Structure formats: C-alpha cells, structure tokens
Structure 1
C-alpha cells in the first residue's frame, strides 16, 4: 500500500465558462459558496454542503488549475478526487515507484492561514485524476490560494459524502479494485454474504435485459473516506444502452457517474430540492406496488403515499433500512447526477433499489428519445 487515503477533501469538476453547475449546486441543491480563486484563465469556486465540498473549475488557462489538472476532456466532467494524506511528497515517490504517472509533482502553497502540499496522480479511471493533499495545521476555510467568501446559512440537507460511484468499462473492475487497494489502501466491502471480490455483486435487471456488476471499496477500519463503488454493465439481450454504457459513450470513457450525499432527513431534503426546482428521477410506477413494499415502508416508519409522491426508494429489513432518491443529470450530456441517501442501520445499497434505478434511468432515456 503506497498511500492510505484518510479523508475526502473535495471533488473537482471541470466545466466551460458559463456552464451552470456552480449555480445549480447553490440554488437547487443547497450548496453554499465557500471560497474562490480567479487566476490564469480559471475561475475556481468551492461550494460546501455539510462536510461535502465540490470545487468547480470554470474556463481554461495556459497553466493547470490550482490543486488539479486540466484533462482537456471533451465534455463537462468530474476531473479529480482530492484525498488527505499524511505526507504528499513521500506519497508521490511511492506511487511513482509503483509505476503511477505523477503529472503534477509535489507543490507547496501558502497563505496567511498556513500551508499545504499537494500532488496529482493519474488514476486508471479514464480522465479522472487523484489530488493527494497534505494540509495538517492549515486553519483557513478551504485551501491556501483561495479567497474566503461570506458564509451563508446551510439548509442542512446534506451532512457528508456517503459514496462515489465510478462507471467502468466492462471487465475492468477487478484491476481497478486492486489499484485502489495497492495505491490508496482501499479494501473490498462485500455487498452480499460471501461475495467474491473478483466478481462483486451482480444485480440482474430481469428478463435478459442485462444488469450491473457492483464492487464496493472502503478505507481501512476506522477510515473516514467515503466508499467507492465500481459499476460495470452485465451482458444482456437489450439493444438499448443501459446507463453505464450510455455514460461511457457520452462521457467518452470511464469516470465519476454519481456522488451519494448522506442526508439526515431525506424527506426534508427532497422536498426542499423539489421546491427549489431541482429535477428528481421518477421511480417506475410498479416500484411501490411490489408485493410487501407497503409493509416494508410502514415497518421503517414511513407513509407509502409520501415516499411515492417524493420518489423516494426504500429497501431493507430487520430494522435496517436504506432510503434513496436520485436527481436527473446535472449536465446536458447526461453524464453526472446526485443521490441523496439516508441510512437506518443499512450499510449496502439495496438490490431492489438498484433495479428500480436501472428501470427509472431506462424509462427516462426512452422519454428523452421520444421527445
């Protein structure tokens, strides 16, 4: 293991000037502007909701954006996951010794609040890079080089990032799992009893329509970085692309498909987002009519009609439940969305909910094609 990831600092995005990601995160999803930097052709805006921080890099400059790398990707995209490490310089040397590409060697940045050292490492997931950050003792609100912005009330819809789902090419999950294990200290997180880490969890869509293979990863025990989920398509008879295949085609390769944001109150968060104009994915009508679904929802302490109206999925049993709701894509290319998740003892992702999400995305795509 070359560099154990201790904590997620932020998720960086690269969008062209004028693209509304930052505006939408603020106005529709409750993220509050945290800090800004404008230099070298870049406008870099950090936004926070709870402990979840998104860094939106707008424009394009002659040099790299601070704390990142310009991948020159053809569509708006998540470009970097930034993790805290104990020693950025030692980490860069160790990863280079493992054969990793280190396009940005260790850089030191300082301001009146202290200093930070960062390095950027290429990941095996398409154009997604990893920024590894050493910032012990830094006392500013974000990172050196950024100007703090006036604080505003946080609506409290989100507390932290629960998980990060990477859309991967078919058959690539085992190699990616080993890379994150060997280089960043992630370990296999079984989603079903006795799960083989080489095969992960297979969730069939039904009726020969393919499905998903999911492989979950977690940091070492007591780690506080969010889980990673590797998602790839299973072969099926359908001619229509599923959501992973469509992501790979429209995104021009693997990448971050969605971010799972933990919410302490999914009913309040979903209602607030809907009232603000955020677009939520509608589950298939059959979801809430499944045998036993009403009893399951009641056992978790909710009204089936309320979850139905707000499009919230629920899965679990034996007093351990998972509630989820998904947004529509935040990019016109249909390559990135958000998930709100509330856990009542459940640690997985809900196989019935995965199937429902699968069907919801397929139906949404069919509606879009018919429009």
Structure 2
C-alpha cells in the first residue's frame, strides 16, 4: 500500500461490463447464543420489527431463527437447538457474530458461476426452495474467516422471508429510525488478499484506502481499504492491524472473535440526533467522545453549526469530504465479547467513512479497551 498519503482514492477504472451485478444486501444472519432473547433485544433496543420465524414449529430441527426488519434492513438471528450443531460450534468459538452476509443478485446461477470461476470456494451450489408463496434460488460461497456470502434471487416470492419461515409478530413495530445498511466492515489478519478477492470475484473496485499514519493514535494503529460494487450499493471496508505500541481494536477483535469476521454493521438514518436520543432511551450504549472534540467542529464542518449543541449532547462525530459531510456514532459492543458493534450514520453527500474522526474514535475505543484490560 503506498505510504505517501493518509487517504487515497483508487484510480478510476476503465468502464467494463459488470460480471457480478449486485442489487444490494438481502439480509445479514447472526449466529447467537439465544435467538429468542436476542430478538427481544434488537426489537426493543434498536427498534426492529419481528416479521418471521423458523423453528421446531415450522419443521426446522436444528435451529431457531427470528427475522427482524427495519426500513430496508433485514437481520436474521439464529440459535442452535443442539450442542452438536455447527451453529452451536460457531457461537461457542466466536460468540454472537455475523455468519452470513447475503447478497441480492439478478441471477444466482450466473453469480455462482462467475464467483467460482474467479476463485471463490463454493459451500452450497445453486438450488431452489419453494412454498405456497413462490420460489427462491440460493447459493453460498466462502469469504474471510467462517463468514459466507449467500446469493439470493427472490423473483416474485411473496412470503414473509424464505420458504421454511412463517410470518410472526410479537407486537414490535418498525420504528423507522434506521433505513438501510450503509456498509459492513470486516476485520482480517491480512487485508490485501481479501481486497484482491473482492476485486477478482465480485468485480468490486477499491474506493479508498487508509494508511496506518491516518488511522493511528499514540498507542495503536490499523490499515483499511474500502471496496465497492459497480453501482455503489454494496461497500465493504476491510481492516487489518498495524504495528504499534499496544494492541489495536483490530487485534482485540481478532483475539476475542478468535479469527476474522464482520466487525460492525453501519446503518443509515435520516435524523441521527433524534435516532441516537431514542436509541439511548431504549438502552443502547454508545462510545463516549471528549467534549473538547467539538471545539474544532465549526471550523471543519460549518454546515452543522446550528445543531452543534445537539451533536455534542449525543456524542455524534462530524466529518466532511469533497462531496459533502456526514454524521456518525458508534455503539459499544452489543454482546459480552468486545467484538461486534453498530455504527449509525447520516450522510449529506459525503461518500467517505469519517477518516477525519479516526483519531477521536480510536481514542474512545482505546479507553474502552483499557477498561477491559486489553490495551
């Protein structure tokens, strides 16, 4: 990675036919220790709505899965029904974490063919599943760690989620606070091979990269590259640890997740101040940002002067790039292990990922690491 600059946009590639068109992220499935309790947490704390279920009552013998929806975000929370289940094994090793990042594609067969021809390792070949609501085609390939990508082709399917699931409600409602998945960040030991994987297999392009000089504090550092689909709807930042005085947040994640995996889900909102205030009221915990951070915000991003007091009160970070500005905030880990967390982001034209906030963010993360004895 060139060391000359902290942040560099990749060169604009020549226009070519996209051999791996992606419609977006269909859903994200997390393997958890107790899916029923996790569903209660995500509906009550994050404002998701329970919409579908699969378990013993629907014919599933090895798992219970609860499907949650908010805006265009779909989360599937899956727990094992037996100690010898691969789901139980995954959760035992990693804790609660992302197993499946499912991608909506125009053709599962085409996506599978192109992916496996270009180096992806197949897990489940293309196949159809059907019920009275229609047919869905699926196929699965490996990515970093034990994470997989499932290709999903829904066609005219009209069911609650997938065949094998039944519609379910527990009285929760889609609060409308969170609109869509903005990006999903992966933590790996070595970044460049996985950047090349997404370039080769998915025809993604390197959008940005950040050196260890840009993403560093007195104690820790990391490096990151962002790959994006041709239409820009799927964005995957990929992080690796960098050498520093102490353990970085990526080192801590890799240690406690026991390998590579998805570090955080970034969810978009159109009113971050109101959203964060409501999430706090519901019990979601966020990283603490020093009050002094806001002294320089008006000079960096004058557009937020009128709401600066609200941003300060909620601990929301501010950054800008050539295309506009963004507002962002990060939760504390949502499970017992210091691994998976969420980002809430509101974009006003900006296409970046808050690189101007890296120092403040990582110092906040380091304070949490220090409290845990992991710095």
Task: Name the TM-score, length of structure 2 as normaliser.
Answer: 0.85
Return the match for 1:299 from 303, 327, 336.
303
Equivalent pairs counted in the alignment come to: 350
Q: Distance in 2 between matches of 1:167 and 1:277?
A: 27
RMSD of aligned Cα (Å): 2.5
Pair 1:140-2:148 in alignment? no
Q: 1:99 to 1:299 in 2, by over 3 A?
A: closer
Return the match for 1:329 from 327, 330, 333.
333
SS at match of 1:118: strand
Q: Distance in 2 between matches of 1:54 and 1:33?
A: 10
1:45 alignment counterpart: 66
Q: 1:72 to 1:363 in 2, by over 3 A?
A: closer
Pair 1:157-2:177 in alignment? yes
Q: 1:76 to 1:152 in 2, by over 3 A?
A: closer
What's the CA shift string for 1:106-153, capped at 9, x where partnerless? 231111211011111111x11101111121121223222211124854
Q: Deviation of residue 24 (structure 1)? A: 1.7
Q: 1:355 to 1:345 in 2, by over 3 A?
A: same
SS at match of 2:163: coil
Q: Distance in 2 between matches of 1:90 and 1:73?
A: 35
Contact 1:297 1:303 in 2 (8 A): no
Contact 1:314 1:321 in 2 (8 A): yes
Q: 1:63 to 1:110 in 2, by over 3 A?
A: farther
Gaps of at least 5 residues in structure 1 are 192-198
1:280 alignment counterpart: 286
Q: 1:337 to 1:214 in 2, by over 3 A?
A: same
Contact 1:21 1:330 in 2 (8 A): no
Pair 1:82-2:88 in alignment? no
Gaps of at least 5 residues in structure 2 are 1-17
Q: 1:116 to 1:202 in 2, by over 3 A?
A: farther
1:105 alignment counterpart: 125
Q: 1:136 to 1:63 in 2, by over 3 A?
A: farther
1:194 alignment counterpart: none
Contact 2:330 2:343 in 1 (8 A): yes
2:13 alignment counterpart: none
2:80 alignment counterpart: 59
Q: Deviation of residue 59 (structure 1)? A: 1.4
Q: Deviation of residue 3 (structure 1)? A: 3.6
Task: Name the TM-score, length of structure 1 as normaliser.
Answer: 0.86
